Structure 1
Amino acid sequence: MLALTACGGEPATGDSAGSREAEGFAINTSPEQDRVRAQAVPEIAELVPEEIRESGELVVGVSGTGGVPLAFFADDDETIIGSEPDIAQLVADVLDLDLRLEVTSWDNLLLSVESGQYDVGISNITVTEERKEIFDFATYRVDSLSFEARADSDITVRDRTDVAGLSIAVDAGTNQEEILVGWDEENQADGLEPVDFQYYTNPSDYYLALRSGRIDLHFGPTPMVSYHVAAAQESTIVGEVPGGGDLPAEIAATTQKGNGLVEPLSQALNTVIENGRYAEVLARWGIEADTIPESEINPPGLPARED
Structure 2
Amino acid sequence: MFIRKAALAAAAIAAFATLASAQGVYDLSPQQPGRPRTQPNPAAIAAIAGDARLVEPGVLTVATNASTPPLATYATDSATLVGADPDVAQLIADSLGLRLKLIPTPWADWPLGVASRKYDAAISNIGVTEQRKEKFDFSSYRAGLHGFFVKADSKVGKIAEPKDAAGLRIVLGGGTNQERILLEWSKQNVAAGLKPIELITFDDEANRLLALSSGRADVIVQPHAQLLFIQQRDRNIRRVGVLSAGWPERSDVAVATRKGAGLAQAITLALEGAYRDGTFDAALRRWGVEEERLEKPETNPRGLPKY
Residue in 1 that maps onto 2:199: 196
CA distance in 2, matches of 1:172, 1:52: 37
Identical amino acids, percent of aligned pairs? 36
Of 60, 63, 81, 1:61 maps to 63
Q: Superposition RMSD on alpha carbons, in Å? A: 2.9
Q: Is the 8 A contact 1:107 1:173 kept in 2?
A: no
SS of residue matched to 1:55: coil
Instruction: Indicate the residue corresponding to 1:119 in structure 2.
Output: 120
Alpha-carbon offset, residue 178 of structure 1: 3.8
Q: CA deviation at 1:292?
A: 2.6
In 2, Cα distance between equivalents of 1:176 and 1:122: 21
Tell me if structure 1 keeps the 8 A contact 2:150–2:220: yes
Aligned-pair CA distance for 1:265:
0.9
2:101 corresponds in structure 1 to 100
User: Do the aligned partners of residues 129 and 16 (structure 1) sit closer, same or farther apart at CA in structure 2, a change above 3 Å counting?
Assistant: closer
Structure 1, 127-136 or 165-174: larger mean CA deviation = 165-174
Q: Taking structure 1 as reference, are residues 167 and 58 closer, same or farther at Cα in structure 2, changes over 3 Å only?
A: farther
Cα deviation, residue 214, structure 1: 3.9
2:299 alignment partner, one of 284, 297, 300:
297
User: 1:174-220 deviations in whole A, cap 9, x for unaligned?
Assistant: 5434433443555577785464341334x444323322334433212
Distance in 1 between the 2:60 and 2:174 partners? 27
What is the deviation of 1:39? 1.6
Change beyond 3 A, Cα 1:78–1:165? farther
Q: Deviations over 1:94-148 (max 9, x none)?
A: 1122211111222223343343322211121222223222221111112222111
Give yes or no for contact 2:55–2:118 (8 Å, CA) kept in 1: no
1:225 is matched with: 227
Inter-partner Cα distance in structure 1 for 2:119 and 2:183: 29
Report deviation, 1:162: 4.5
Rounded Cα–Cα distance in structure 2 between residues aligned with 1:172 and 1:104: 21
Aligned to 1:7: none
Q: With structure 2 as the length reference, what TM-score do the two structures score?
A: 0.80
Distance in 2 separating the partners of 1:120 and 1:293: 22
Aligned residue number for residue 26 of structure 1: 25
Q: Structure 2: 5+ residue runs without aligned partners?
A: 1-16
Q: Is the 8 A contact 1:139 1:250 kept in 2?
A: yes
Q: Which amino acid aligns with 1:150?
A: K
Q: Is the 8 A contact 2:41 2:96 kept in 1?
A: yes
Alignment deviations for residues 261-282 of structure 1 (CA, whole Å, 9 cap, x no partner): 1111111111111122112212
- State the Cα distance separating 1:18 from its structure 2 match: 8.1
Structure 2 counterpart of 1:211: 213
SS in structure 2 of the partner of residue 52 of structure 1: coil
Instruction: Answer whether contact 1:20 1:29 (CA < 8 A) is retained.
Output: no
| Structure 2: distance between partners of 1:17 and 1:161 | 37
What is the CA–CA distance in structure 1 between the aligned matches of 2:78 and 2:273, rounded to whole Å? 32
- Cα distance in 1 for partners of 2:22, 2:128 equals 31
What TM-score, normalized to structure 1?
Answer: 0.80
When residues 178 and 80 of structure 1 are mapped into structure 2, their CA distance, relative to the original with a 3 A threshold, is farther
Letter of the 2:152 partner, please give it: A
Deviates more, 1:139-148 or 1:81-90: 139-148
- The equivalent of 1:144 in structure 2 is 145
**Alpha-carbon shift at residue 43 of structure 1 (Å):** 4.8
Q: What's the offset of the Cα at 1:161?
A: 4.4
Q: Is the 8 A contact 1:125 1:254 kept in 2?
A: yes
- Any conservation in 2 of the 1:135–1:257 contact (CA below 8 Å)? yes
Find the counterpart in structure 2 of residue 110 from structure 1. 111
